[in-house]
Amino acid sequence: MPALTRQDCLALDAADPLAGLRDRFDLPEGVIYLDGNSLGALPKGVAERVEQVVRAEWGRDLIRSWNTADWYGAPGRVGAKLAPLLGARPHEVTITDTISVNLYKLLVAAVRMRPGRTRILCEAGNFPSDNHIVDSVARQFGLEVVAVPAGEIAAAVDGTVAVATLSHVNYRSALMQDMGAVTEAIHRAGALAVWDLAHSSGAVRLDLDGTGADFAVGCGYKYLNGGPGAPSHIFVAERHQAAFDQPLTGWFAHAAPFRFDPGFARAEGIRAALCSTPQVLSLIALEAALDAFAGVDMGALEAKGRALGDLLIRFHDERLTRFGTAVASPRDAARRGSHVSIALDGGFPVMARLIERGIIGDFRAPDILRFGFAPPYLRFADIYDAAEALEAILAAGDWRDAPVATGAVT
Amino acid sequence: MPALTRQDCLALDAADPLAGLRDRFDLPEGVIYLDGNSLGALPKGVAERVEQVVRAEWGRDLIRSWNTADWYGAPGRVGAKLAPLLGARPHEVTITDTISVNLYKLLVAAVRMRPGRTRILCEAGNFPSDNHIVDSVARQFGLEVVAVPAGEIAAAVDGTVAVATLSHVNYRSALMQDMGAVTEAIHRAGALAVWDLAHSSGAVRLDLDGTGADFAVGCGYKYLNGGPGAPSHIFVAERHQAAFDQPLTGWFAHAAPFRFDPGFARAEGIRAALCSTPQVLSLIALEAALDAFAGVDMGALEAKGRALGDLLIRFHDERLTRFGTAVASPRDAARRGSHVSIALDGGFPVMARLIERGIIGDFRAPDILRFGFAPPYLRFADIYDAAEALEAILAAGDWRDAPVATGAVT
Q: Average model confidence (pLDDT) for chain A? A: 96
Sort residue B30 into left (φ over 0), alpha (ψ -120 to 50) or beta.
Answer: left
What's the pLDDT band for A154 if we cut at 50, 70, 90?
A: very high
Q: Which residues contact B150 (CB under 8 A, 6 or more apart)?
A: B123, B125, B126, B166, B167, B170, B175, B177
Chain B partners of A62 at a C-beta cutoff of 8 Å?
A: 28, 31, 33, 35, 39, 41, 360
Cβ of B366: how many Cβ atoms within 10 Å?
Answer: 12
Domains of chain A and any CATH numbers: 6-43+296-400 (3.90.1150.10), 70-293 (3.40.640.10)
Residues of B recognised as catalytic: 127, 196, 221-222, 370
Do the beta carbons of residue A176 and residue A204 sit within 8 Å?
yes
pLDDT of residue B404: 55
Its sign, for the CA torsion A132, A133, A138, A140, is positive
For the beta carbon of residue A100, count every other beta carbon within 10 angstroms.
Answer: 25
- Please name which of B88, B72, B68, B69 lies closest in space to residue B80, comparing C-alpha atoms: B88
Is the pLDDT confidence value at B402 over 70?
no
Whole-Å CA distances, A373 to A34, A175, A379, A390, B60: 6, 14, 9, 16, 18
Check pLDDT > 60 for residue B124.
yes
Triad B29, B32, B35: Cα angle to 5°: 120
**Chain A nearest C-alpha distance from B41 (Å):** 6
**Which of B60, B109, B24, B78 shows the shortest CA–CA distance to B279?**
B78
- Please determine, for residue A409, whether its predicted confidence score (pLDDT) is greater than 60: no
Q: Do B46 and A38 touch (CB under 8 A)?
A: no
**Chain B interface disruption, residue of A62, A127, A141, A217, most B CBs within 10 A:** A62
Identify the active-site residue in A25, A127, A171, A373: A127
Has A127 been annotated as catalytic? yes
Give the strand pairing for B362-364 and B368-372: antiparallel
CB neighbours of residue B401 within 10 Å: 7
| Alpha carbon of B274: minimum distance to chain A alpha carbons (Å) | 11
User: Is residue B261 pLDDT above 90, yes or no?
Assistant: no
Kindly name the residue from A196, A214, A362, A382 that is annotated as catalytic.
A196
Residues 6 or more apart whose Cβ sits within 8 Å of residue B302? B203, B204, B205, B338, B375
The closest CB to that of B228, out of A41, A249, A280, belongs to: A280
Residues of A with CB below 8 A from B67's CB? Answer: 407-410
Going by pLDDT thresholds of 50, 70 and 90, the confidence category of residue B407 is very low
Q: Is the dihedral of CA B141, B147, B153, B157 positive or negative?
A: negative
CB contact under 8 A, A258 and B365: yes
Instruction: Name the residue among A61, A140, A279 with its Cβ closest to that of B282.
Output: A279
> Which helix (DSSP H) or strand (DSSP E) does residue A10 occupy?
helix A6-15
CA distance A285 to B54: 9
Going by pLDDT thresholds of 50, 70 and 90, the confidence category of residue B406 is: very low
CB within 8 Å: B228 and A281: yes
How far does A2 lie from chain B, in Å, by closest CA? 36
pLDDT at A361: 97
Give the single-character DSSP code of B3.
P
- The yes-or-no answer on residue A214 being catalytic is no
Q: What is the pLDDT of residue A22?
A: 98
Q: Judge: A229–B285 Cβ closer than 8 Å, yes or no.
A: no
Cβ pair B229:A277 closer than 8 A: yes
pLDDT reported for residue A365: 85
Residues A342 and A3: beta-carbon distance below 8 Å: no
Q: What is the mean predicted confidence (pLDDT) over B151-173?
A: 98
Q: Is the pLDDT of residue B409 over 50?
A: no
Chain B: residue whose CA lies nearest to A139: B247
Half-sphere exposure of A37 (CA within 13 A, CB side): 29
For B114-232, where are the alpha helices, taking DSSP H only? Answer: 128-141, 153-156, 179-188
Best mutation target among B129, B136, B409 (most A Cβ atoms within 10 Å) is B129
Q: For residue B293, what pLDDT is reported?
A: 98
pLDDT category at B258 given cuts 50, 70, 90 is confident
Q: What is the mean pLDDT of residues B63-82?
A: 97
Do residues A120 and A148 lie in contact, with contact meaning Cβ atoms separated by under 8 Å?
A: no
Whether residue A99 is annotated as binding a ligand: the answer is yes
Give the residue-averaged pLDDT of B59-82. 97
Residues near A282 by Cβ (< 8 Å), separated by ≥ 6?
A: A226, A227, A229, A230, A231, B279, B280, B281, B282
Over residues B182-227, the pLDDT tens digits come to 999 999 999 999 999 999 999 999 999 999 999 999 999 999 999 9
A214 CA to chain B: closest CA distance, Å? 22
Q: Residue A47 and residue B42: Cβ atoms within 8 Å?
A: no
pLDDT tens readout for residues A109-141: 999 999 999 999 999 999 999 999 999 999 999
Question: For position A410, what pLDDT does the model report?
Answer: 43
Closest CB from A47, A60, A275 relative to B28: A60
Beta bridge partners of B175: B336
C-alpha closest to that of A104 among B113, B129, B136, B119: B136
- Rounded to 5 degrees, φ, ψ at B137 are -65, -40
Question: How much is the pLDDT for A406?
Answer: 47
Of B144, B79, B131, residue with least CA distance to B104: B131
> How many other β-carbons are positioned within 10 Å of the β-carbon of residue A337?
31
pLDDT of residue A306: 97
Spatial separation of the C-alpha atoms in residues B252 and A98, rounded to whole Å: 11
Contact B248, B121 (CB under 8 A): no
* Interchain proximity B247–A275, CB inside 8 Å: no
Q: What pLDDT does B410 receive?
A: 43
Q: What is the ipTM of this complex?
A: 0.97
- In tens, the pLDDT along A79-111 reads 999 999 999 999 999 999 999 999 999 999 999
Residue type, B323: F
Tens digits of per-residue pLDDT, B269-278? Answer: 999 999 999 9
pLDDT in tens, A375-407: 999 999 999 999 999 999 999 988 887 655 544
| Chain A residues close to B358, C-beta within 8 Å | none
B147, pLDDT greater than 90? yes
Confidence of residue B337 (pLDDT cuts 50, 70, 90): very high
Please state, in angstroms and rounded to a whole number, the distance separating the CA atoms of residues B195 and B242.
20
Residue A370 catalytic? yes
Model confidence at B13, in pLDDT bands (50, 70, 90)?
A: very high
